Structure 1
Amino acid sequence: MNGTDMYFKDITCNATATKAPYGENWVQNTDGFDTMDANNIVLENFYYQGGDDCIALKPRSYNVKVSNVTCHGGNGIAIGSLGQYLEDSSVENVIVDSVNIIRYNDDMENGA
């Protein structure tokens, strides 16, 4: 996502397979909410269920506030892909508040 001065509220993201048993129905490579080339972003009341990053803050993300988030499965909140691209990889002034991480199964790890 690229953007400036953006406000997101009350979003649900479900990235699970409907025809698989619970606990085995997560889908990989399905990030919930990503930032890149973004400034002054607010995300409130976000619910993610899936098998990848709940939220991923990527290069050139500045002044990001995340609050009241539930990550059900996946890797939690990541600051990642730094150094993957030739451009500046900085991430600055990130506030994360009131996050609930629910582990989906033993395959899910590294959540923060």
Structure 2
Amino acid sequence: MLRGEAIASGRVHRGRIGAAASTGVDDLGGLLAEFRQRAGLTQQELADITGMSVAGVRDIEQHRVLGPRSDTVRRLIWALGLSDVEVQRLRGAAARGRDLGAGRPRRDPARG
């Protein structure tokens, strides 16, 4: 599904200023999941719109990737139609993850 098709079908909605502020979610995975669900999108639909893989979306939402590349963040912002406040929150969370050196997927040491 392309972004234009998603918008035409009503699946992507322009975010409202402060709409996610009430939850207190400040981590990237939590914000992405909240914004995606509010837009009425599945992980697969968001992946299709952004050109990402479902695993890529899932890895961010499940905190396996805490600091994705700036281009990935831009595509997510575009696909979700976030407000300026929401854009700042998402970018801030991604930057904090990158500052921790957490751009790559975290591996469970028990799994080898």
| TM interval, short-chain normalised | under 0.3
Q: Which has the higher helix share?
A: 2
TM-score relative to the length of structure 2: 0.26
From the two aligned structures, give the one with the greater strand fraction.
Answer: 1
User: TM-score by structure 1 length?
Assistant: 0.26
